[in-house]
Structure 1
């Protein structure tokens, strides 16, 4: 997406073309699809201790390694698939994070089997609509702590309150675009690009 030089973005998005595209087209747009929300949560778990650009650059390799992040498929992964992923330089090769993603698929499916839609669960906790942050951007909030605890209770891992808050930002549960960012009001109005 071509933008002229007078466009103001969140400062974190201006140094890399991939980050700019992610910011301009995806970050902060309210996501309501359960599977998409789950995929993004799993990717945020992989980001723990790393920069987001690292995950963004590896996202397509993650999608390939995790069979398109189809929970029904990922939940059936065993040691053979884990060992293959540990050899895959295209992704973050962390056994704990790989196993957490497989466990996350199982937790997601267990919620489904219990009649609990992942998107409805997430958005219900958030009050049903995006939260527009008017102050300084925090690392975590009371809501991310609550959501983290609820996810952990359901069997998810790598879902601490800081990871969950980053995910909430990415999925548009909270609008943390800076006040002068051209996307702040567009996202609020539901425009995706």
Structure 2
């Protein structure tokens, strides 16, 4: 199998690439979790987040935004003392605010619909021959970032949003030589 070049030999990366990255995700809570994790990844490698993902899930109440939305300084202090996660006050505080923003969007239209409406409900099918062709961000990720920020989200710049869009299958950015590209290009 000729996977996308970013995968390398790490079994965690291989499993993530082969079973999760680029697979369309339509669950509102799961979408929120992935956006939060992409925000925590800013400035770090994605493998760092993958290796700590179970710790994040434990520390952040299974990424239940309804639970997290009510958190305050005691929870921030608890999380800052947790060596199993990325201990960044700004990102932790943003997660609480992002949970509150998620609640507003979820109540108004559903966070899943809010996001998937940008791509007409189906993944955009790119046909990149090499990793060098894959953009870091696009005009669409810039627009989604702007709209998320307007809704109250933080740590959701255009590059973070594009990485998120790739991860949750809003865009199929597997290179065309990767078997997953064809798998994910199939309707349904």
- TM category (shorter chain) comes to over 0.9
* Distance of 1:54 and 1:179 partners within structure 2: 27
Q: Which residues in structure 2 correspond to 1:95-174 (within 5 Å)?
A: 95-113=89-107, 115-135=108-128, 136-174=133-171
Out of 66, 76, 79, the position equivalent to 1:72 is: 66
- Alpha-carbon distance in structure 2 between the residues aligned to 1:126 and 1:50: 28
Q: CA deviation at 1:14?
A: 2.5
Number of aligned residue pairs: 184
Contact 1:63 1:69 in 2 (8 A): yes
Q: Deviations over 1:32-78 (max 9, x none)?
A: 11110000000000000000000000000000110000011011111
Q: Deviations over 1:119-149 (max 9, x none)?
A: 1010101222101112410000010001000
| 8 Å CA contact retained: 2:105, 2:114 | no
| Distance of 1:174 and 1:127 partners within structure 2 | 11
* RMSD of equivalent CA atoms: 1.1
Q: Which residue of 2 aligns with 1:183?
A: 180
TM-score when normalising by structure 2: 0.95
Cα deviation, residue 190, structure 1:
5.8
Unpaired segments of 5 or more residues in structure 2?
A: none
Return the alpha-carbon distance in structure 2 between the equivalents of residues 190 and 78 of structure 1. Answer: 43
Which residue pairs with 1:17 in the alignment?
11
SS in 2 for 1:178: coil
Please identify runs of 4+ aligned residues in structure 1 that moved more than 4 A: none
Paired with 1:18 and 1:108, the residues of 2 have a C-alpha distance of: 29
User: Aligned residue for 1:52?
Assistant: 46
TM-fit CA distance, 1:15: 2.1
- Structure 1 length-normalised TM: 0.93
